[in-house]
Chains A and B, each alone.
Chain A
Amino acid sequence: MSRHKLVKNLDLDDEFDTFNGGNDYDYDGEETSEAKKIKVLPLYLSSPPIQKLIVAEHMRQGTIKVREILPPTVANITDKQIQDSLWHYYYDVEKTVNYLLTTYSATDKKTSKKAVGKKAQGGLVFFGQCSDDGRRACDENFNSAGDLYSSGRTSTYCSNSSQFAPFFNDCPWFNIPADRKTVFVPPLRPRGGLLGGSSGGPPKMSKLQALAAARKKKAQEQRSSGNTGVEKPLSDLKVKDDADDDVPMAGASAEKSELPPKASSRGFPLRKRKDSNEHQKAPRAAPVPKDQPIKPPLPEDTPTVDQAQPSAFASTMFSSTSTPRQPTDNLFTLPYVANFTSTTTNPFAGPSPDDIVIAAQSKAAGKGGKGPPKTNGEKRADQIAGGVEAMKLDDTPRAKRHVDAGKSTLMGRLLYDLKVVDQRTIDRYRKEAEKMGKSSFALAWVLDQGSEERARGVTIDIATNKFETEKTSFTILDAPGHRDFIPNMIAGASQADFAVLVIDASTGSFESGLKGQTKEHALLVRSMGVQRLIIVVNKLDTVDWSEERFTEISTQVSAFLTAAGFLSKNITFIPCSGLHGDNIVRRSTEAAASWYTGPILVEELDNSQPASRALSKPFRLTIGDIFRGGVQNPLSVSGRIESGSIQMGDALLAQPSTEKCFIKAVEVDQEPVDWAVAGQNVTIHLSGIEEQYLKIGDVLCSPSNPIQNIKQFTAKVLAFEFLTPMQIDVHRGRLHTPGRIKEIVAVLDKHSGAVVGKKKPRVVKPGLVARVVVELEMAVPLEAPARVVLRSNGETVAAGLLE
C-alpha cells in the first residue's frame, strides 16, 4: 500500500483524539492510575489564582532587581514603568534595564542639561553595571563601524544601545516608541557651486542655488521652532557640544556655523573635522635647551619646528568639510581604554589553542624530566660563557692504520658508553648488521651512516659527532683509513687538534698495518700540524690481553713516530678493546688486563690541552660542506674556523670566486649562536650569494683582509717518495687542485733548515726535506703558513708548509 493511500485513509479526528488523550496519560508515564488522574484535576482548577500570585511575586522581585541595577541618574523612573517593561520582556531583567536606560535616560537628557555635560561618564557607569552580555553588545557597538549614524540617534544613545541584532531584540513589533524610530537623512550631495572660476575661496553659488538655500533655511527655522520632543534633545546636545569645546576646537565652531542648516536635522552631532588651523593652535612645546655647545657655524639654540599648513594636495585629500569621516575612529583601539579592546572582538583575547597545547606540553615535559641532556646543555653554555680564552673545544680525528683496525667501532663504543647514543639505536643497528652478516659492525654504524659505508664496512667520508666528558666537550672526526679515501682523511686531519691512532693488535694485522697505512697516516697527521697523538692498541682481547704484545707494539710504533717527528711526551699508548669497551670509558674488568694501570681513553682525552687559537687573526674558514639548511636558509656551509672570529651579520668574502656574502646565522653543534671563534666547527647560513659561487674547499675570509688567490707558491716539503718536477695534486683540507712541481729549489737540512748539497737538484729522495716551487692550474686561495699535502697517482708524495 502506498503512502498516499495511507494518508488518505487517515482519520484525522481519531488521530487527534488519541493524541490529546494520550497527553495526560503519557505525562505520568506508563502506570497511569485513576488516582493520579484525579490529583491532576484539582491542580488545573486552582491554577488561575496561583498563577496570579506567582506573577505578582515575579513582578515584585523583578522590580527590585531592576531598581538595583539602574544607575542613580535614572532614579526618577516609576515602579509602574518598570513593571510595564518587565511584563513586556517576560521578566527579563537585563533587557528591561536596557530598555529603561535607553528610553528614560534619553528623556532625562532632555530635561536635565547637566546630564548632557556628563555624558561620557554616564556611558561608563552603564558599562560598569550591565551584565557581560550587555557589555559585549556595547563593545561590539563601539568597535564596529558607524552604522549607528544611519539610525540617526544621539551619540549618547548610540553608545548605550547595541548593534543590529541586540538592537531589535527588545523592540516590540508594534507601538514602537517614537525615540527608536529612525530619522531619514537625505543623502549628501556634492557641494554645490559653479564649476570653474577662481581656485581660492568657496565656490560661488548660482542664483538658483542661493534661492533654494534661503528657502530651505526658512523652512528649517520654522520646523525647529515647532520641534518634536524627540528632536529637541538632539539640538540641545549639539549646542552643548559646541559649548563644551575648548580652545583647540575653537576653529570648529566657526566652521560649524557655516554649515548649511540642513545638517542640524540629521539627528546626530557632526563629527568635528580636524582642520589645518588646529595645527597652528596646538600648544608648542618649549624649546629644549641644548646640552652641548655647538661650533660657531651652528647657533646656540635648538631647532624649532613649525607645523606646516597642509599643502594643496593634503588639504584636498584630508579636509573635505562636508562628509563626516565616521568609521575610522570606531576602528581605533585606544591604548587607554584597554577594557574595550580586551573583549570578544579582540582576536587575541584569552589563551589560544596553541598556547594551551604548549603549556600542557611544557607541564608534561617538566614532569617527565629529561635530566641528563639538560645538564649537559647547561654545562656547555657555561663553558662558552667562560670566554673565548677558556674555550675548551677539542677535536679528535681518528687516523688509523689499517682498514678494519676498528676505528669506527671504537668511536661508536665511546659514544655509546657516554650515553650519546641510546641503547635502542644500537639495538637497531645490531639487528640490521646481523641481517647483513656483519654483527660486529653495529657500533661502527653510529658514525658510518652512508649506505655504501655500511655495505662495504669501511669509513669513506669524514663523520662528525660530538660528546662531552665531565671536563670538556669533544668533536669527533671519524676519518677513513682506507687508502682510496686518503683525501678525505687529509680533510679530516686538517681540522683536528689531536689524533687518536688505532692499531690492530691481532697477530699479523699489526705487522701488515705498520708497513701500510699506519706509516702514511702518521706522517700525514704530523705534516698536517697535529702534535699530539693517542695510540689506541685495539683488539687486545683477541690476544688475551697479552702485555708482551702491547709492549712490542708500543716500542715499534713509538720508534717510528719519534722518527717521524713526534715528541715522545706527546704520544700515549692505551690498550683496549673497542668491541667490548674495555679501557675506553670504563676500566677493563678482565683479569688478564689487570696489568695496565695507566689512564684509560677518556681520561687521556680529558688530559689533552686545548691548542691555542689564532683568535685575533683575520677570519678564515675552508668550506667543508655546502648544503641547503632548510627553507629559511637556502645556502649553508660548514667547516672549521681556522682563525679569527665571526658573528651574525658579518660580511664575508668567498675565495676564489671573490663574491661577497653575509652571515645570516651561525650554528655550532646545531645550536644557533651569535658568534663563533677559531677552532669551532660551525655551520654558517649565508645570504647574498648564489650557490654557483661556492664549492667545497673554497675559503671564506673577511673582506677587509682577504686571502689571495695564488697560482704559484713555494713550500718546504718532506718527501715521502721521489720528487721530480712532475704533475701533482695539492691538498689542503677539503681543497684540492691539480698542479705541478715547477722547480726544486734546494734540499734542506731536516733540523736546521739550511741548504744542503747543490742548488736545483733534479730529484729529491724520500725522507728528505726540500724547498719546491709549485705551479697550480688555477688560482686557489692559499696563504702561508698553510699546510699542504702533495699527492701523485693516489699516493702521498710529500707534505709541507707554505712559505
Chain B
Amino acid sequence: MTDRRRINGPSGGTSTPIYSSYLAKDPKDLPERPTRTRPPNVLRKMFLKTGVTPSASGSAYLELEASKIPTSNAPGLSSLSTSGLKLTCTVHGPRPLPKSAPFSPHIILTTHVKYAPFATRKRRGYLRDASERDLGVHLETALRGVIIGDRWPKSGVEVIITILEGEEDQWWGDDIGRGATSAAEWGMMSVLSGCITVASAAIADAGIDCVDVVAGGVAAVVRSGNGGKAPSPTLVLDPVPSEHKDIIAACIVGYLPARDEITDLWVKGEIGHDSQSGNSIQSSSYEELADNAVQAALGSHRVLVAALRETADVKIGRL
C-alpha cells in the first residue's frame, strides 16, 4: 500500500554520492572503523529526560552518545559521521477505549515504534515496515509484564516512540565495499533496548501503575580482532555495531531489577557452532550472554531511576 497523502521522496532513498577522490589510495588515509574505547563492561553514557512533550500524559527522551571518530582524516562528509541513538517517547493515556471497542477487563497497551525518515543512513519510509512493527511487538511484550493492567479496565494506553537517530547496523565503510558485509540488523538490538528504557520512563512519567520500572540492556559476542592473528570472540555490553567488524550474537533483555524478572528476551545470532576453535567461545553461552545483558540493563536502570527521581524532586518541590 502506498501512502497517497504525502509527496514522498524516492522509495529506496538515496545516499550522498562518494566520489573516488575521497577514497584515497593510501591505506593510511582510509577512513578507519571507529574502535571501542570503553572497556567491554562499560556502557555508553546515557541522557534521559522525562516530561519533554507537554501535550502527552507522559513523555521521555533518551540519547546515547555517538562514538568518537578515531582519526580526523576521515572525509568531511556529514553522512560519514558516526551517530548515536536518539529516541523520543510519548505516552497517551490511560484513556477510555472508544465505544466500538469490546469490553476489556484490563488496560489495552498499544505500542508504536517508528523510525523517522532521516533516522538512519538508509532513508526510512513514512509507513512502518516489518522491522519497526517487530520492534513494536517486542516493546509491547516488555511493557505488558510491568504495567498493572487490572487497575485500568476499559481503557487504553498508547506508547509511541519515534526514533530520531537510529543505531547503525554496520560501519558505513562496510557499505561502500570495505571489509566484510555481514550486516544483520544489529542496530535494532540497541534501539529496542533504548525503546524499553525510554518507554518505561515515559510510563512512569504518565503515572501509570507499574510493578517496577523495566530497563533494557544489550550484550553481544563480537569478534573484533585486528589483522593477523585469529580474532577471539569477546563479550561486550552495549555494543555499537559500527565499532565491531563481526558481531556473532547479541542479546537484549527487558529486566525488572526489583523483582529480578525478565519481561522480554531476544537473542540474535549463533554461538557455539565453532566450539572446537577454542574454549573461549564455548564459555560464552547464551546464558552468559543473557546474564550480561541483565547487567547492562541494571546500568541503564540506574540512569532511569536517577532521571525519575529528578523529575519527582521537581514535582514535589513545586507542590
Contacts and interface: CB of A to CB of B under 8 A. Distances in A.
A784 interface: no
A298 B303 contact: no
Nearest to A305: B299
Interface stretch (B40-48, B74-82, B243-251): B40-48
B244 to A, nearest CB: 14
Contact of B49 (A159, A274, A306): A274
Nearest to A286: B302
Contacts of A296: 280
B63 A303 contact: no
B154 A284 contact: no
A308 B47 contact: yes
A389 to B, nearest CB: 32
B146 to A, nearest CB: 14
B207 A335 contact: yes
A334 interface: yes
A328 B314 contact: no
Interface string A92-124: 000000000000000000000000000010010
Interface in B290-311: 291-292, 295-296, 298-300, 302-303, 305-307, 309-311
Contacts of A295: 235, 280, 283-284, 288
Given A248-B313, A295-B280, A332-B207, A307 B303 contact: yes
Nearest to A335: B207
Interface residues of B, number: 67
A279 B317 CA distance: 17
B48 A307 contact: yes
Interface stretch (A347-355, A520-528, A619-627): A347-355
A585 B304 CA distance: 68
B52 A318 contact: yes
B61 interface: yes
A327 B45 CA distance: 30
Interface string B148-165: 000011110000000010
Contacts of A248: 310, 313
Contacts of B57: 331-332
Nearest to A632: B102
Nearest to A271: B318
A329 B63 contact: no
A327 B54 contact: yes
A28 B98 CA distance: 57
B317 A354 contact: no
Interface string A658-689: 00000000000000000000000000000000
B291 A292 contact: yes
A693 B298 CA distance: 46
Contact of B207 (A317, A341, A352): A341
A282 interface: yes
A29 interface: no
Interface residues of A, number: 58
A311 B65 contact: yes
Interface in A243-283: 245, 248-249, 271-272, 274, 276, 278-279, 282-283
A740 to B, nearest CB: 45
A299 interface: yes
A6 interface: no
Contacts of B152: 348
A149 B191 CA distance: 39
Given A327-B54, A347-B96, A307 B63 contact: no
Interface string B46-90: 111101101001100101111000000000000000001010000
A296 B280 CA distance: 9
B205 interface: yes
A415 to B, nearest CB: 32
Contacts of A334: 207, 312, 315
A305 B310 contact: no
Contact of B65 (A155, A284, A292, A308): A308
A448 to B, nearest CB: 34
A304 interface: yes
A232 to B, nearest CB: 22
B122 interface: no
Contacts of B313: 248
A236 interface: no
Given A299-B39, A307-B306, A352-B154, A332 B51 contact: yes
A297 interface: yes
B300 A305 contact: yes
B51 A328 contact: yes
A314 B49 contact: yes
A310 interface: yes
B46 A329 contact: no
Nearest to A358: B103
A298 B52 contact: no
A329 B314 contact: yes
B315 A332 contact: yes
A3 interface: no
A302 B237 CA distance: 10
B319 interface: yes
Contacts of A337: 319
A38 interface: no
B91 to A, nearest CB: 11
A337 to B, nearest CB: 8
A248 B295 CA distance: 27
Contacts of B120: none
Nearest to B152: A348
A215 interface: no
B94 interface: yes
Interface string B276-291: 0000100110001001
Contacts of B63: 308, 310-311, 313-314
Given A305-B300, A308-B45, A335 B209 contact: yes
B133 interface: no
A165 B309 CA distance: 36
A309 interface: yes
Interface string A309-331: 11101100110000001011101
A750 B257 CA distance: 69
A491 B43 CA distance: 62
26 contacts: A120-B319, A248-B313, A249-B317, A272-B317, A278-B310, A279-B47, A279-B307, A290-B295, A292-B291, A295-B284, A297-B232, A297-B280, A298-B234, A305-B46, A305-B302, A307-B306, A308-B63, A308-B64, A308-B65, A314-B47, A325-B54, A328-B54, A335-B207, A335-B209, A341-B207, A358-B103
Interface of B: 39-49, 51-52, 54, 57-58, 61, 63-66, 84, 86, 94-96, 103, 152-155, 164, 205-207, 209, 232, 234-235, 237-238, 280, 283-284, 288, 291-292, 295-296, 298-300, 302-303, 305-307, 309-315, 317-319
Closest 7 CB pairs of A and B: A308-B45, A305-B299, A297-B234, A308-B47, A333-B207, A282-B306, A306-B45
